[in-house]
A = this chain, B = another copy of it.
Amino acid sequence: MEVLKNNFEAILPLIEKAVEEADYIAIDTELSGLGKQKLDVLDDSQERYTKLKEAATEHLIVQFGVCTFKWDAESKSYIAKPFNAYVYPRASSRKLEIDRHFTVQSACFEFLAENKFDFNKWVSQGIPYLTHEEEAEARRRIGGLRRDEVAVEETHREFVENTIKTVNDWLQNSSEKVVSVACPTSFHRLLVHQEVKKRFGAALGTDGKYGAVEVSKLTEEERKYRSVGKEAQLEMELNQLIGFRKVIDAISQSGSIVLGHNMFLDLCHTFQQFNRTLPADLEEFRREVHDLFPQIIDTKHLARSNPKLSRLQDTGLGAVMEEVQKYPFVSPKISIDPDCGTYETAFHEAGYDAYATGVAFLRMTAYAEGCGDTEISKESPTVTAVMNKLNLMKSDVPTLNLVGPQETRDRSHVFRVYGFSDGVKTKDVMEEFQPRAGDISIQWINLSSCFITLKDPGKAEEFNKSLDGEDKKFHYEIESWEAYKAKNGQGSGLSSSTSQQATPKRKLGLESPVGKSESSHKRTKTDQSSDGEKAECAVM
């Protein structure tokens, strides 16, 4: 079901009811961009979080998908209720002073356009939203609007009297809807607003213009609206502006299991856009996300980690959705609630992707558990094994645990090589180290250094020994990952890295002020959200 500004108030109770009753709530987002920082396989968890946080701070969710799933004992099937919401950072009226600046990555908008995203609907009909912080700030502003009356000093008495006379003359003798009072300064404008209101009450309206205030006769409707009182009006407006956050609040209050596919970035965005500013510290983020959504399952992690699902070679959402609709993934039955309409395949529409995520979860879990057409137990090992673990893509650590200790990786087979002479290329590094280390992967740090990772960790010790020799083909120093980290601490890892076949020379060009970095270009929507591993295919 499509949810827009115009129908949001009407549909909200349906969503809230669906969320409250749900066994599982799948979510998905479409974004205005993916950030400029390249994900690196050697990122530690804080580094990775910092990159995603930056992306979530710059860019916006432009469409939010929610799909609830509830077991129906009678039909022995899950009933899905998908909702697809356009969300737009709507500006407020002037008094509340809410307006936002956000960043668009041009390739992402092109990608959305190819996937039938309706930008006109987004701007005109996107549901507004405020975080809790923005709401509190707006409330402070409403409070601050109570203003003392300005005294009319001797110097301005004549001006005020003339103004009132002008307005009275116009009221009695003119059929014009508006009369303009010229004001040499903004203080004069303030006086006109104040004195007209004082003398004529709700019968007349005043609008500040450049160099003047326009006094106008109000229609009955306008009079009624103004008579509500400025503060009450602003409260009403504020309530509307909170908008889509009410859905997030409802999901949070339900405490239900929230599903997402490769959802770390979606989660950062959801937190930043509808809850509050993302904290800098990963530990704080873990705590706060756990408060917000106490049960989270990343279906990509499920697909990748459960040994019974090893037949799923491609764990992108599209591929998984295709697989789970075929043998042997036949159960459970899932049907869409007729009130929510029907759904054609529509990948990269947030509502559909949320629906697909839920279907993938139910079918994978039922298969792994051998449930057949019965209800899936939320305490089943398949479910509990993946609870509160986010998939980490392009990382040698598979997950970020939202609860409990973090996973780490043995990196005794990673080395930093540095101090290259000019012009050393990937090919040279390969030729220097592969004979001793076997297959390696290379990540450039800058023109004169890179990390090399041995494909076979077992060769690390032998490789370490072989480094004593002196027959280097070019100049370099080498140190272990451990030694490097001890020197540089957490968070000082790669600032940029490159793929293996690229030469460092080219890479430097990419970071010039004119050219955009490779990462911002290569990574695409599919990269960080639904299609996960299919990173490099979408922009073209």
Contacts and interface: CB of A to CB of B under 8 A. Distances in A.
Given A141-B515, A144-B505, 6 more contacts: A94-B521, A153-B435, A185-B439, A187-B501, A190-B500, A277-B514
Top 10 nearest A-B pairs (CB, nearest first) are A119-B119, A91-B107, A186-B500, A190-B501, A99-B521, A137-B514, A113-B123, A89-B106, A210-B533, A100-B106
Interface stretch (A17-25, A426-434, A479-487): A426-434
Nearest to A98: B516
Contacts of A209: 534, 536-537
Contact of A499 (B36, B88, B186): B186
A539 interface: yes
Contact of A534 (B187, B210, B509): B210
A208 interface: yes
A329 interface: no
A118 B97 CA distance: 26
B140 A207 contact: no
A536 B91 contact: no
A539 B91 contact: yes
Contacts of A520: 99, 101
Interface in A493-518: 499-501, 503, 505-506, 509-510, 512-516, 518
A110 interface: yes
A contact face: mostly helix, strand, loop, or mixed: mixed
A103 B101 contact: yes
B106 A185 contact: no
B137 A512 contact: yes
Contact of A120 (B58, B120, B134, B147): B120
Contacts of A462: none
A102 interface: yes
Interface residues of A, number: 92
A136 B32 CA distance: 28
A124 to B, nearest CB: 5
A73 interface: no
A247 interface: no
A184 interface: yes
A333 interface: no
B91 A106 contact: yes
A285 interface: no
Q: Which of A90, A99, A434 has the most C-beta atoms of chain B within 10 angstroms of its own C-beta?
A: A99
B140 A509 contact: yes
A521 B98 contact: yes
A518 B95 CA distance: 10
A35 B91 CA distance: 15
24 contacts: A36-B101, A90-B106, A90-B110, A97-B510, A97-B518, A98-B521, A99-B107, A102-B104, A118-B120, A119-B120, A133-B514, A136-B514, A141-B509, A144-B505, A151-B431, A153-B435, A184-B439, A187-B430, A187-B500, A189-B501, A190-B501, A210-B533, A210-B536, A211-B533
A26 B125 CA distance: 34
A104 B101 contact: yes
A455 interface: yes
Given A190-B501, A516-B98, A537 B207 contact: yes
A140 B58 CA distance: 30
A340 B299 CA distance: 55
A80 to B, nearest CB: 29
B120 A438 contact: no
B153 A431 contact: yes
A103, A434, A514, A533: most-surrounded residue (chain B CB, <10 A): A514
Contacts of A118: 120
Contacts of A240: none
A332 interface: no
A65 interface: no
Nearest to A105: B101
A412 interface: no
A160 B109 CA distance: 39
